[in-house]
Chain A
Amino acid sequence: MLGAEKEIVETYVPTGQVKVEFSPILDLGPNSLNAAAAAYCAGFQNPMAFWELHDTFFANQGEVFRADRDYFVNAAAATGVDQAAFASCYDGGEAHALVSEHDNARRRANISIRPTIDVNGQLLFGAQPFAAFAQVIEAALP
């Protein structure tokens, strides 16, 4: 969900009004998990690298769907994180386990529609135009 999310970030995050979080949904096979784990591993070194890979993966979903380990290693390296440390994290399985646990928490919360956007507890389902999110966000602002 890059389109509206990007606008949300550009509009509300720099002003300090909104904090954006990302929680993985693993629906589309092994690379759902691998991509999220790769982003986590990069983020463990530098949280901004997580968001860089977040944008990269959403912009190249076709590639990510077919990606192999080298693709993720190279994508992470492009964010400036240490490549060896990234590879160690990716191969170690710790990030995969954490992603899976976050996904399990999502399932236990009965969130099954992709994407689901939680705005201070109010859930919006499916891809929505920015205006739809803006309306809910504005209403939630103090």
Chain B
Amino acid sequence: MIRRLVLFLFIGICLAACGQGETPLEPTAAIVTETAATVAETETVAPAATDTAMVQAEATTPALAEAAAATATIAAAHTSAPAPATAAATATAQSGIPSGRTDAGIFYLGQPDAPVTVRDYSDFL
């Protein structure tokens, strides 16, 4: 009887010790994930501040002109840079879709002279 009691006590102590060892890991991982998700959600929602399903706006001419000028300046500034200089080449995927970089150094996928250009301004995170 006493041997059984000692055995149960020993098992109980082992289980408690194992449980304590794992406890800190889960909340840490959860916090990191939650933080990333929270930041992403905040960054996405806050600037838009709208409940509408779809928001569109005609780009103003000054804004686009400024963007074009800025990217042109960037391209000029990097023409002598070793890494971007090697990026002038285009590549074609096995599917036959060409890819490359614009004069401003922006990566594109599709026919360079396609009638519609869709530029995605986004963050990989």
Residues of A within 8 A of B (CB): 1, 5, 8-9, 12-14, 16-29, 31-32, 35-36, 39-41, 43-48, 50-51, 54, 57-58, 61-62, 64-66, 89, 92, 94-95, 98, 101-102, 104-106, 108-128, 132-133, 136-137, 140-142
Contact = CB atoms under 8 A, between A and B. Distances in A.
Contact of B107 (A28, A51, A62): A51
A65 to B, nearest CB: 4
A125 B102 CA distance: 23
16 contacts: A1-B120, A14-B97, A16-B110, A21-B119, A28-B123, A36-B124, A40-B83, A50-B107, A101-B78, A118-B118, A119-B117, A124-B56, A132-B53, A136-B56, A140-B116, A141-B115
Interface of B: 32-33, 36, 39-40, 43-44, 47-48, 50, 53-59, 63-64, 66-67, 70-71, 74, 77-78, 81-84, 86-87, 89-93, 95-97, 99-102, 104-112, 114-125
A123 B56 contact: yes
Contact of A25 (B39, B84, B121): B121
A50 B106 CA distance: 11
A127 B121 CA distance: 11
Contacts of A141: 115-116
A125 B48 contact: yes
Nearest to B77: A101
A35 B122 CA distance: 12
B91 A19 contact: no
Given A24-B122, A114-B123, A115-B122, A18 B116 contact: yes
Given A13-B97, A44-B87, A8 B118 contact: yes
Contact of B36 (A26, A35, A65, A122): A65
A21 B122 contact: no
A32 B123 CA distance: 6
B122 A109 contact: no
Nearest to A120: B116
Given A21-B106, A61-B124, A114-B122, 7 more contacts: A64-B125, A65-B125, A106-B67, A114-B47, A116-B122, A118-B117, A118-B121
